[in-house]
Amino acid sequence: MAAAALKGMACQSLFSQPTPPRSSAFPRGRPRPRYFSPAATARRVRAAGQGQTSAAEPGAKMGTLAFDGGASSASPSSSSPSPAPQTGDEKPEAPPDLDRAIDRSINASIVLLAGAGAIAKLLTIDHDYWQGWTLYEILRYAPEHNWVAYEEALKTNPVLAKMMISGIVYSLGDWIAQCFEGKPLFEFDRARLLRSGLVGFTLHGSLSHYYYYFCEALFPFQDWWVVPAKVAFDQTAWSAAWNSIYFVVLGLLRLESPASILGELRATFWPMLTAGWKLWPFAHLITYGVIPVEQRLLWVDCVELVWVTILSTFSNESSESRNSGSS
């Protein structure tokens, strides 16, 4: 009986001893590392590369890619690109208002100097012997003496005199056209005005000089039908030729391609020819019926102020619309 009791107590004490703690390679409270497969690692590397590429594009959202147990999160940031750093060699651009003020000053200087020179040339025609003249006498005799000087120039060098007149008229006509299009008085396009004046100086004055003598030789009659015949020839053959020359030469001066010049000429040839029929037949009744042949270009150039305004507007509107459409 006692032996059985001792045996039971020994078993109880044996099983009641506390078990020692197990050693673990991964203690509690620390996160276990995750082992990624090669395929998963490659996918994450590709995702990181795509995120950097899209962040480099303008307007793309930039963010940081964080790995937390295989999950990625992107923090959005500003989409506006950061300004490029300026180096020491780069110069800051001038503001538009300053450029406009400089252009207006240059244009105003050109107009004022040209106008002052022309007025001084006209008023000082008698500067050799107008000492003692009153202002009334100067204003009375200056126009008459200027006309005499113009006739002397026509006798000595008629082609150059007519070229000068046509160059001035074509420059003024283009300036009027630009103001008519809505530009301020001193904000005209200098290159465009120079092109128009160059065409008038080099081509219109010289070609018109020879054309009017050719027209007199073509119709050497004094009958009543000669004037209408000259007007009809002028408004068909000569107008078609001169309008084509004007448009082609202006296109070449604008450095346009031959295809665009021919397309512009085809588009504007008939409208310009018919537009001239509303103005020139009435003016040429005076040209061929009253004005002598050596004075005709001066009268025609006075009417050309209106016609060059129309020509320049047609030519430059089509060119600007084509340039804006291509851009």
Average pLDDT over residues 144-158: 90
Q: Do residue 230 and residue 291 come from a single domain? A: yes
Q: pLDDT at residue 185 above 90? A: no
* C-alpha–C-alpha distance, residues 136 and 140, integer Å: 6
| Domain assignment present for 29 | no
Q: Do residue 187 and residue 314 come from a single domain? A: yes
Average pLDDT over residues 50-78: 45
Q: What is the pLDDT of residue 39?
A: 56
Task: Kindly give, in sequence order, each residue whose CB lies less than 8 Å from that of residue 208, ignoring residues fewer than 6 positions away.
Answer: 162, 166, 297, 300
Q: What is the pLDDT of residue 67?
A: 39
| Domain assignment present for 235 | yes
Q: Which of 156, 188, 209 is the last residue of a domain?
A: 156
Q: What is the pLDDT of residue 76?
A: 44
Q: Do residue 192 and residue 315 come from a single domain? A: yes
Burial class (CB in 10 A: 0-12, 13-18, 19+), 281: middle
Structure token digits, residue 79? 């989409």
**Three-class SS of residue 89?**
coil
Q: Do residue 308 and residue 202 come from a single domain? A: yes
Q: Do residue 239 and residue 139 come from a single domain? A: no
| Domain assignment present for 176 | yes
Q: Do residue 311 and residue 224 come from a single domain? A: yes
Q: What is the pLDDT of residue 75?
A: 45
Query: Could you report how far apart the first and last alpha carbons of the chain are, in Å?
Result: 116
How would residue 319 be classed by pLDDT, with cut points 50, 70 and 90?
low
Q: pLDDT at residue 128 above 80? A: no
Average pLDDT over residues 52-56: 48
Q: Count of CB atoms within 10 A of residue 195's CB?
A: 23
| Domain assignment present for 63 | no
Q: Do residue 124 and residue 181 come from a single domain? A: no
Q: Which of 137, 156, 175 is the last residue of a domain?
A: 156
Contact present, 98 and 117 (Cβ < 8 Å): no
Average pLDDT over residues 75-92: 51
| Domain assignment present for 56 | no
Question: Which has the higher per-residue pLDDT, 132 or 41?
Answer: 132
Q: Do residue 249 and residue 163 come from a single domain? A: yes
Burial class (CB in 10 A: 0-12, 13-18, 19+), 24: exposed
Task: Kindly give, in sequence order, each residue whose CB lies less than 8 Å from that of residue 76, ignoring residues fewer than 6 positions away.
Answer: 61, 62, 63
Q: Do residue 134 and residue 151 come from a single domain? A: yes
Query: Could you read off the pLDDT of 279-289 as tens digits, one per residue?
Result: 899 999 999 99
Contact present, 291 and 303 (Cβ < 8 Å): no
> What's the chain's average pLDDT?
76
* C-alpha–C-alpha distance, residues 247 and 254, integer Å: 11
| Domain assignment present for 261 | yes
Query: Could you read off the pLDDT of 206-221 as tens digits, one per residue?
Result: 999 999 999 999 998 8
Structurally, how many domains does the chain consist of? 2
* C-alpha–C-alpha distance, residues 252 and 315, integer Å: 12
Q: What is the pLDDT of residue 210?
A: 94
**Three-class SS of residue 72?**
strand
Average pLDDT over residues 82-92: 54
Structure token digits, residue 250? 């202006």
How would residue 297 be classed by pLDDT, with cut points 50, 70 and 90?
very high
* C-alpha–C-alpha distance, residues 303 and 221, integer Å: 26
Q: Specify the DSSP element, H or E, that contains 301.
A: helix 296-326
Q: Which of 105, 139, 156 is the last residue of a domain?
A: 156
Q: What is the pLDDT of residue 96?
A: 73
Q: Do residue 149 and residue 208 come from a single domain? A: no
Lowest mean pLDDT among 83-87, 91-95, 145-149, 190-194: 83-87
Q: pLDDT at residue 275 above 80? A: yes
Lowest mean pLDDT among 22-31, 149-158, 229-238: 22-31
| Domain assignment present for 111 | no
How would residue 187 be classed by pLDDT, with cut points 50, 70 and 90?
confident
Q: Do residue 168 and residue 294 come from a single domain? A: yes
Q: Do residue 130 and residue 174 come from a single domain? A: no
Average pLDDT over residues 129-143: 79
Average pLDDT over residues 247-251: 90
Q: pLDDT at residue 97 above 90? A: no
Give me the domain span that covers residue 288: 158-326
| Domain assignment present for 109 | no
Task: Kindly give, in sequence order, each residue whose CB lies less than 8 Å from that of residue 181, ignoring residues fewer than 6 positions away.
Answer: 313, 317
